[in-house]
């Protein structure tokens, strides 16, 4: 279980889109969407959006394969504090051939995005 404050209310909503097994284990690639927090571990522990996985932006190129199992078309959403690190991670993934990647920018915008998904 992750330590730290969680943004409540979105776990049950977002669980429909991301299986807990896929989010919690890099050995599973059955998620419909992969949500990635690219901030530092300390930031992630403070206010991660559940059930995001944590991959620091500097490590995204080396670690993404474990979550996607090579599925370059998997829907990947990235976020950080301001959107800058998520944009760097986005560029790295595009360079590696991933075709369905989006920068959600901030924790607040990611939360709003997920809330909007739950309304549809």
3-class secondary-structure state, position 87: helix
pTM over 0.95: no
Topology annotation, domain 11-119: Oxidized Rhodanese; domain 1 (3.40.250)
**How do the domains of the chain map onto residue ranges?**
11-119
Instruction: Per residue of the chain (120 residues), give pLDDT as tens.
Output: 333 344 333 333 333 334 334 444 454 445 589 999 999 999 999 999 988 999 999 999 999 999 999 999 999 999 999 999 999 999 999 999 999 999 999 999 999 999 998 887
């Amino acid at each position: 279980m992750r330590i730290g404050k969680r943004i409540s209310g979105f776990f049950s909503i977002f669980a429909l889109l991301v299986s807990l097994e896929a989010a919690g284990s890099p050995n599973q690639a059955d998620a419909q969407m992969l949500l990635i927090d690219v901030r530092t571990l300390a930031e992630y522990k403070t206010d991660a959006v559940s059930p995001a996985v944590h991959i620091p932006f500097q490590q995204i190129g080396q670690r993404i394969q474990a979550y996607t199992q090579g599925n370059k078309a998997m829907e990947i959403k990235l976020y950080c504090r301001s959107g800058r690190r998520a944009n760097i991670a986005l560029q790295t993934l595009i360079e590696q051939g991933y075709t369905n990647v989006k920068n959600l920018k901030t924790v607040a915008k990611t939360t709003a995005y997920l809330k909007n998904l739950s309304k549809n």
